[in-house]
Structure 1
């Protein structure tokens, strides 16, 4: 590791796409702050994996929708590693139900994490990310696919897309890029939860590549956007879905 590595903050870093992004960025030489909500054991496993490979990582618990806790992730990055260069906001919540049957309490909980949480992290990132850095949020290809049952989730991610594109323009002159990654069906616990085999098989057959995405597929997109090679991509929603749309 270099004496002064580039530094990444990854929310939702204990599992799924966030966990894979932690490993991938660490392999590229980033020191990583692994943000997690409640799965301390999984976050610590992610840290051990990075350090065992010779990298640097620390786990920090934070409810991304709480302003002080969101700020704590960035304070940890600054105290441990000296600053922040890349933010990957992978933390999210999903609840599926037809719009007519949706429990509005579930809607409130989903919006608290996906919208308020994204705003809280985006605010900190806009203040803290150093020149040459990048901010990566997460949307979903379902915003365009309009699958029944995804009304609340898609609406929350549509808001994420809007704030991402506006933030990219608000950071004019800072040399900081801001993009959203919009995965298609991806084999994570969040996606697979509650789906029967028939549903999973049907969704896997939709892309021309005829399979579900993997967290590693999405982490490669994250790594590219975080690298100098991806720095000319800015203010975009990058659909990583195997060609569904």
Structure 2
């Protein structure tokens, strides 16, 4: 679901036509009725500038996909990890055809995933710290299951190796959340997360609304700088994610990488960027 603030000169017909990318008069009229009903607008011809209305995807596919994504992430056994690695969700419904409708689906899916999975205190806003905590919890659970499976096979993981895995879990979650906060306001917005999910969908070249775990993994590497074209960023981030100690100069490179990656992603997403 997305929000729209009514501007001077707007009417529901034109809003629905633009926001949902519709051209057929019958489809526009149907959407006007749906939006008016959902927002408790008694007269579709009487709306006020400044009023905020909710626009929604009637097939609810993005919400269903978000629920499935959350279910896939609820790992309890080592087999669940293998299933997660092969998992995928489909966020486009039968009526998702135009570019505008597809963009709305990415936003709706991202908003639902943020609210139902990442918003720990359920206040309607996902902070960088909340996003980081959820990501850290997921990686820590993965480590726990991996260590248990390894032990069942007769393997031995030393305390130092366990400490290293814990360090890596913390570092990956922190850098991922920090870099995804493109405008550095401390909040992971639906627009920022939609950029991640749309590009995760595009990794396989299809951009068909099917977001695979492999696509998410590839985007994680892009957001964190693991596969950065800049050789210094690439080297330092991978060293950092290997649990190694950075030199003072490498720490500066890591910090600057966040600035660079945020700026590059913001430009790619079409957000306003200073400089």
Calculate the TM-score normalised by the size of structure 1: 0.28
Over alpha carbons, which structure has the higher Rg? 2
